[in-house]
Chains A and B, each alone.
Chain A
Amino acid sequence: DAGVTQSPTHLIKTRGQQVTLRCSPKSGHDTVSWYQQALGQGPQFIFQYYEEEERQRGNFPDRFSGHQFPNYSSELNVNALLLGDSALYLCASSQGQGAVYGYTFGSGTRLTVV
């Protein structure tokens, strides 16, 4: 049973560039949430996708955008990268109301902006 898969695992980008991160949810899950985790901090909620629509959004600028595809996979796009965007980006999947049953996390994408 495949868990949550994320790609790539590591990425180095230059300030001002754009990046796309990808996530495939666990089999049977239809909801994808994205989190940013800076070093030494807890995961910060970016947004959540369900039925190909953004359902909830955290306190992140419009430079952060996303998409969910009919097969429930998802992308996170970040434009005009800043040094402060360097972090571990976590994708979490759930079935239906994930806030009730908790999330399953992927292994993350480590983004470094130089």
Chain B
Amino acid sequence: QKEVEQNSGPLSVPEGAIASLNCTYSDRGSQSFFWYRQYSGKSPELIMSIYSNGDKEDGRFTAQLNKASQYVSLLIRDSQPSDSATYLCAVGYSSASKIIFGSGTRLSIRP
């Protein structure tokens, strides 16, 4: 069983709509959760971090965490063509001092 699972996509969303990206993880001891954005040929860029159950908003981005369901999501409001990228879900285990990544979801925003 993979430690962090994401739907590989591609997920196609019209410009201006809400894009919803989902992720599940297997280790209940996970303590920190991240969303990274990776443009083609570039390195990952941290866009959101969340540590407790509930929602965390930053501009057009909202991260949601449900530890009971072992589920993390990222909502992108008012999607723009520049949001087209691969979104990587990552989970941190502070006791192990490492971050594990999912395989990423490719998001395409169509004009």
Residues of A within 8 A of B (CB): 31, 33, 35, 40-45, 48, 50, 55-56, 58, 88, 90, 92, 97-108
Contact B31 A102, beta carbon cutoff 8 Å = no
Classify the interface of chain B: helix, strand, loop or mixed.
strand
Q: Whose C-beta in chain A lies nearest to the C-beta of B101?
A: A42
With contacts A42-B103, A42-B104 taken as known, whether A103 is within 8 angstroms of B46 at the C-beta atoms is yes
Contact A45 B42, beta carbon cutoff 8 Å = no
Residues of B within 8 A of A (CB): 4, 6, 31-32, 34, 42-46, 49, 51, 88, 90, 92-94, 96-104
Q: Whose C-beta in chain A lies nearest to the C-beta of B98?
A: A56
Contacts of A33 in B (CB 8 A): 98-99
Contact A103 B99, beta carbon cutoff 8 Å = yes
Identify which of B43, B45, B49 contacts A101 (C-beta below 8 A).
B49
Q: How many A-B residue pairs have CB under 8 A?
A: 72
Interface centre among B6, B32, B49 (most CB of A within 10 A): B32
> CA A86 – CA B47 in complex, angstroms?
28
Contact B32 A56, beta carbon cutoff 8 Å = no
15 CB-based A-B contacts, threshold 8 Å: A41-B104, A44-B101, A45-B98, A48-B98, A50-B97, A56-B96, A97-B97, A98-B92, A98-B97, A99-B93, A99-B94, A99-B98, A99-B99, A100-B94, A107-B42
Q: Whose C-beta in chain B lies nearest to the C-beta of A97?
A: B94
> CA A102 – CA B31 in complex, angstroms?
11
Contact A102 B98, beta carbon cutoff 8 Å = no
